[in-house]
Amino acid sequence: MSSPLLMIPGPIEFSDKVLAAMSHSSMSHVSPAFIAVFGENLTMLRKVFLTEDSASQPFVISGSGTMGWDLVASNMVERGDDVLVLHTGYFADSFTECFECYGVNATQLKAPIGGRPSLEEVEKALKEKKYKMITITHTDTSTGVLSDVKGVCELVKRVSPDTLICVDGVCSVACEEIQFDKWGVDVALTASQKAIGVPAGLCILMVSGRGIKAYENRKDPPGSYFASFKKWIPIMQAYESKAPKYFATPAVQLIYALNASLKEILERPMADRFADHIKASDYVKKAIADMGLKQLALKPEFAAHGMTAVYTPNDMPVGELMPKIAAKKVVFAAGLHKDIATKYFRIGHMGVSATDRSRGDLDTALKALKEALKETGYDA
Amino acid sequence: MSSPLLMIPGPIEFSDKVLAAMSHSSMSHVSPAFIAVFGENLTMLRKVFLTEDSASQPFVISGSGTMGWDLVASNMVERGDDVLVLHTGYFADSFTECFECYGVNATQLKAPIGGRPSLEEVEKALKEKKYKMITITHTDTSTGVLSDVKGVCELVKRVSPDTLICVDGVCSVACEEIQFDKWGVDVALTASQKAIGVPAGLCILMVSGRGIKAYENRKDPPGSYFASFKKWIPIMQAYESKAPKYFATPAVQLIYALNASLKEILERPMADRFADHIKASDYVKKAIADMGLKQLALKPEFAAHGMTAVYTPNDMPVGELMPKIAAKKVVFAAGLHKDIATKYFRIGHMGVSATDRSRGDLDTALKALKEALKETGYDA
C-alpha cells in the first residue's frame, strides 16, 4: 500500500470491500435494488445500536456528524427549552452553539481538560433545574475523554426520569458499548467515517420511541428544513419497508459502502467488537506509557477506546513531531482543544485497525511514533 | 457493462475516472494533499459558473441539493422578508416550504403544467410588491421545464434591481448556460449527482459578492447551524487558500470524485459543453416526436436540455411502460408532478451520456423506449 496509514480519530482506514462499494455503478435512488439496500442498512443499524424496540427510529442522511446536532436541536427540543450539556472538550462547545442557534438554552457542566463531570456534579445540576434533555459526548474527539454513559443514564432515570438522554456518539458508535434500549438512551448520533467504517458524508441517528414522541409533541414545527424529522421519518419508514419515497436524493454510493461495512460489523456480536477496541486501546496505551508519554485523560477510566490523546514530551511543539511521523507514511492528528492544541496529538484506532490486527496498523503506528520521537532527540 | 443504463434526470451515468476516484484511499480531511484538492475544486467551480468576480464565493458541503435551499433561506433572507418564487413544478413548492420553515414569506407565481410564468407576469408581480429575492428553478426536474434565466435577470435588473436573484440550478448547472457574472445572478445552487457528474452527497453553491453582503447585513444570526454561512465562509476561504480549517468533516472521497469530474468538464470551454447538451436534447426530442409522443413542455423553448419529460401515449399508465423499459436494462424516471405523475416519464441526458456520444447512451435509451412501446401494443 503506497498511501499513508491513516491513524487519526476519523476518517479511519476503510476495508477493501467498503472502498470497492464506493465505486458502485450509478443507480436510481428510487430503484427497488437500491431501496432494498438502504432499508437493510436501517435494520442493521438497529443491531449496531443494540435496540430491539420497534419504536426506535434509525436515520441515515447525507451530511456529517455536525448535522446530527441540528437533527437533535431542531426537532427533539425547542425554543426556550433547557438542556444540560456535559462538557468534556471541543465538541460540547459546538453542540451548545447549535442549540443556541435554535433558541434552546444550553447550560454547560464543565470538567478540567482530561476530566469529565462527576456523577455527583451531574446529580446536583439535574436537581437544581428541570432539563428537557441532557447531552453526553461519549468520546470527545478533541480530548479522547470517555464519558460514563451508562452511569449518567442510571442517574438520569433516578433523579430526572423525564429528561431526554442524548449521546453524541460520533467517536463511539460501533467501538464503545452503547446499550440503546437497556440504558434508556433517547438519541445517539454518529457519522460514517469513524467506527462505522465508511467514508465521510453520512449522518447517522437512532432515536427512541420517547424521543420521537418529544418531536411529535412540539408546539412549533421543526426549526430546520433539511434536518426536519417531519421530512425524514416518512422517508426512513418507507425505505425500511422497501418502498420508494422522495425528499432528497440519498448519497447512493455511500449507502452501498455503509451496507458493506455494516455487514462486516455484524458478522460477529457487537460485544466482541467492543472487546476488540478495548484490546487495541490497551495495547496502544501501554506502548504510549512505555515511551514515557502522558495521556490527556486524567484517569485510566476516563480514556476512550477508539482513540488516544497524548501530550508531546517536554512541551515539544506538536508541529515539530507531526512531519517526522508523516515522513514514515503514518498520519496522526494534531491537537484540537484550543487551550493546548500545540502540545498534544491524537491517535485513532477504530474499525479495521483495531479489529483486524493482521494488518499490523497499531504496530506500524507505534513504531513510527517511537522513531519520530527519537529523531527529535527524545529518548523513548 | 452489466449494470443498467441510468437515463434519469439524476443521478446520471458517471465517468470511469469519477467512479475510480470514489475509491480513493482514506485521507485526513486536514492533510495538505486533500486541502489542495478541495481548494482546486472551489477554484474550478468559479469557471463552471462563469464567474470571474473575486467576491463570488463557492461552497461545497456534504448534503444534497435540497440542503441548498436551507443555505439560501437561512442566510440570504430572513424572518419577515418577502421572496417571489417562480413556479414551474414540484421543486418550487418544496423551496417555498423551506422558506416558510425559516419565517420567510414566499409568494408563488404559478404557470400551468409544462409552462412557465411569462416575463410580463413576472414584471407585474415585481411591481406589485418589493421582494428581497426572486427564485427561478432553471430546470424543474419534475416537469423538464426550462426557465428563461437570462430574461428574468434582465427584467429584475430593470424593474427591481435590489432584488436578489436565486437560481435553483440542481438540474441545470454544467448543462444549461448560466452566466453568473454577466446576468447578475446572486446565488446558484446545485447537487453533485446531476450534470456536475459526481455521485450524490454534495451540495454546491455559488454566491455573489452582493449575496454575501445580504448575509452580512442580516439583523439576526443565520437560522440554521449546519447550513450557516457564518460557519462555512471561513472554511471555504481557508480551503481555497490551501489552509486547513475545521467545522465538519468533508466527504473526502466525493471531493476527489468532484475533482476528477471538474477536470473533465473544464477540458473544454463551457460553451461547448452547453452546445453538446443542446445537441443531445434535440436528438432525443426529435426521436420522441417521431414516435408520436408529446412532451410536457408546452413550447419548444420551454424544454430543458438535460432531460425530457414525455407523456405516455393514449394515457397509458406509466407503471405499465416502466418495467418493459427496465427489462431492457435501461432506467427512466417515472413522473413526479403529483397532478399527472402516472401519465408521464422522464429521460435524463446529462453529463457523459450527452458529451460522449461514442457511448451510444442516447440510442440505447431510445431503442429501449421504442421497443417497450411496441410491446404495449403502441405502434411507435
Of all residues in chain B, the one with the smallest CA distance to A29 is B11
Judge contact between A269 and A348, C-beta under 8 A.
no
- C-alpha to C-alpha distance for A70 and A75, rounded to whole angstroms: 8
Cβ neighbours around A181 below 10 Å, total: 14
Q: Among all residues of chain A, which has the CA nearest to that of B7?
A: A28
Length of chain B: 380
Nearest CA to B153 among B247, B86, B92?
Answer: B86
- Mean pLDDT, residues B248-255 taken together: 98
| pLDDT given at position A1 | 47
Q: Are residues B142 and B179 in the same domain?
A: yes
Q: Determine the 3-state secondary structure of A112 from DSSP.
A: coil
- Chain A residues touching residue B191 (CB < 8 angstroms): 249
pLDDT surpasses 80 at B360 = yes
Q: Return the closest-CA partner of residue B141 out of B65, B62, B48, B61.
A: B65
Q: Quickly list DSSP for B340-364.
A: TGGGEEEEE--THHHH-GGG-HHHH
Residue B98 CA to residue B168 CA, distance in Å, equals 13
- Residue A338 has what pLDDT? 87
Residues A29 and A135 in one domain: yes
A-chain CB neighbours of B330 within 8 Å are none
Strand partners, A133: A83, A164
Q: What is the pLDDT of residue B314?
A: 93
Check CB contact under 8 Å for A248 and B64.
yes
- Give the closest residue to A13 by CA, choosing from A291, A368, A350: A350
- Smallest CA-to-CA distance from B174 within B157, B160, B193, B156 is with B193
Q: Which residues contact B277 (CB under 8 A, 6 or more apart)?
A: B175, B176, B195, B305, B306, B349, B350, B354, B355
Spatial CA neighbour of A284 closest among A116, A90, A276: A276
Q: In which residue are the cell numbers 462547545 written?
A: A93
Contact B158, B317 (CB under 8 A): no
**B58 and B185 fall within a common domain:** yes
Q: Which tens digits make up the pLDDT trace of B81-124?
A: 999 999 999 999 999 999 999 999 999 999 999 999 999 999 99
Residues A184 and A320 reside in one and the same domain = no
Range of the domain at B273: 5-11+269-376
Whether B14 contacts B337, CB under 8 Å: no
pLDDT at A380: 64
SS3 A62: strand
Asked if B254 lies within 8 A of A250 by C-beta distance, the reply is no
CB A312 within 8 A of CB A321: yes
Subunit contact B28:A333, Cβ cutoff 8 A: yes
Q: Which of B63, B74, B101 sits opposite A62 (nearest CB)?
A: B63
Among the partner residues A201, A226, A249, nearest to B227 by beta-carbon distance: A226
- Interface list for A 96-115 with B (CB within 8 A): 97-98, 101-102
Position A300 scores a pLDDT of 97
Q: Does B361 touch chain A if contact means CB atoms closer than 8 Å?
A: no
Domain of B340, CATH number, reads: 3.90.1150.10
Q: Specify whether A273 is located in the same domain as A259.
A: no
Same domain, A129 and A232: yes
**What type of residue is B65?**
G
Strand pairing report for A133-137 and A139-140: unpaired
Closest CA to A309 of A320, A298, A321: A298
Are A223 and A312 contained in the same domain? no
- Strand ranges in B130-224 using DSSP code E only, listed in sequence order: 133-137, 139-140, 145-146, 164-168, 187-191, 202-207
Q: Domain boundary residue among B266, B299, B334?
A: B266
E-only strand ranges, B138-276: 139-140, 145-146, 164-168, 187-191, 202-207
Nearest to B249 among A10, A73, A227 (CB): A10
Question: What distance lies between CA A264 and its chain's CA centroid?
Answer: 18
What is the average per-residue pLDDT within B354-368?
Answer: 98
Judgement on whether residues B230 and B124 belong to the same structural domain of the protein: yes
Closest CA to B10 of A201, A240, A30: A30
Smallest CA–CA distance, residue B126 to chain A, in Å, is 27
Q: Say whether both B256 and B292 belong to one domain.
A: no
Same domain, B71 and B202: yes
**Shortest Cα distance, chain A CAs vs residue B213, angstroms:** 21
| Residue A70 with chain B: CB contacts under 8 Å | 224-227
Domain CATH for A231: 3.40.640.10
CA distance B341 to B284: 21
- To the nearest whole Å, the CA of A238 is away from the closest chain B CA by 17
Give the end of a domain, one of A222, A248, A266: A266
pLDDT at B371 (0 to 100): 96
Residue A200 has its nearest CB partner, among B6, B70, B250, at B250
For residue A226, count other CB atoms closer than 10 A to its CB.
31
Last residue in a domain, options B215, B238, B266? B266
Asked if residue A324 and residue A221 are part of one domain, the reply reads no
> What are the residues whose beta carbons fall under 8 Å from the beta carbon of A259, sequence distance 6 or more?
A21, A37, A40, A41, A44
Instruction: Report the Cα–Cα distance between both ends of chain A, in Å, rounded.
Output: 28
List of chain B residues whose C-beta atoms are within 8 Å of the C-beta of residue A31: 331
Identity at A17, one-letter amino acid code: K
Q: Is B217 on the interface with A (CB under 8 A)?
A: no
Take residue B63 and report the three cell numbers written for it.
Answer: 448534503
Cα A7 to Cα A332: distance, rounded to the nearest angstrom: 5
Q: What pLDDT is stored for residue B43 in this prediction?
A: 98
Q: Is B2's pLDDT higher than 90?
A: no
Chain B residue with minimum CA distance to A332: B28
Beta carbons of A11 and B63 less than 8 Å apart: no
- In angstroms, the separation between the Cα of residue B282 and the nearest Cα of chain A is 24
- Residue where the block lists cell 452546445: B275
A221 touching chain B per CB within 8 A? yes
Q: Do B247 and A66 touch (CB under 8 A)?
A: yes
Residue of B69, B97, B226 with shortest CB distance to A63: B226
Q: How far apart, in whole angstroms, are the C-alpha atoms of residue A44 and residue A243?
A: 17
Q: Taking 50 as the threshold, does the pLDDT of residue B188 lie above it?
A: yes
Q: Which residues of chain A have pLDDT under 70?
A: 1-2, 380
In the DSSP assignment, the letter for residue B302 is G
Which of helix, strand or coil describes residue A109?
Answer: strand
Question: What are the residues whose beta carbons fall under 8 Å from the beta carbon of A292, sequence distance 6 or more?
Answer: A313, A380
A63 → closest Cβ in B26, B62, B333: B62
Q: How far apart are CA A160 and CA B237, in angstroms?
A: 45
Closest C-alpha to B48, from B267, B349, B256, B242: B267
For A339: left if phi > 0, alpha if psi spans -120 to 50, otherwise beta; the answer is alpha
ipTM confidence: 0.97
- Overall domain count for chain B: 2
Q: Which long-range contacts (CB under 8 A, 24 or more apart) does A370-378 make?
A: A370/A291, A371/A324, A371/A328, A372/A321, A372/A324, A372/A325, A372/A327, A372/A328, A373/A291, A373/A313, A373/A321, A375/A324, A376/A316, A376/A320, A376/A321, A376/A324, A378/A313, A378/A314, A378/A316
pLDDT, average across residues B270-297:
98
Q: Say whether both B225 and B292 belong to one domain.
A: no
| pLDDT at B293 exceeding the cut of 90 | yes
Q: Which residues, other chains included, contact B379 with Cβ-Cβ below 8 Å and sequence gap of 6+?
A: none
Annotated binding site of B for substrate: 346
Where are the extended beta strands (E) located within B232-370? 307-311, 330-331, 333-334, 344-348
Distance CA B9, CA A370 (A): 54
Which residues are within 8 A (CB) of B183 and not within 5 positions of it... i.e. 6 or more apart?
A: B149, B150, B153, B154, B165
pLDDT tier, B380 (very low <50, low <70, confident <90, very high otherwise): low
Residue keyed to cell 522513531: A371
A351 in B contact zone (CB under 8 Å): no
pTM: 0.98
* B-chain residues near A335 (CB < 8 A): none
Which of 26-65 (A) contact B at CB < 8 A? 26-31, 62-65
Cell of A380: 523513548
Q: Closest CB to B26: pick one of A11, A20, A26.
A: A11
CA distance A250 to chain B (A): 6
Interatomic CA distance for residues A225 and A132, integer angstroms: 22
Which residue of A192, A225, A318 is the best one to mutate when testing the B interface, meaning the one whose CB has the most B CBs within 10 A? A225
Q: Give which of A110, A103, A108 is closest to A81, Cα–Cα.
A: A103
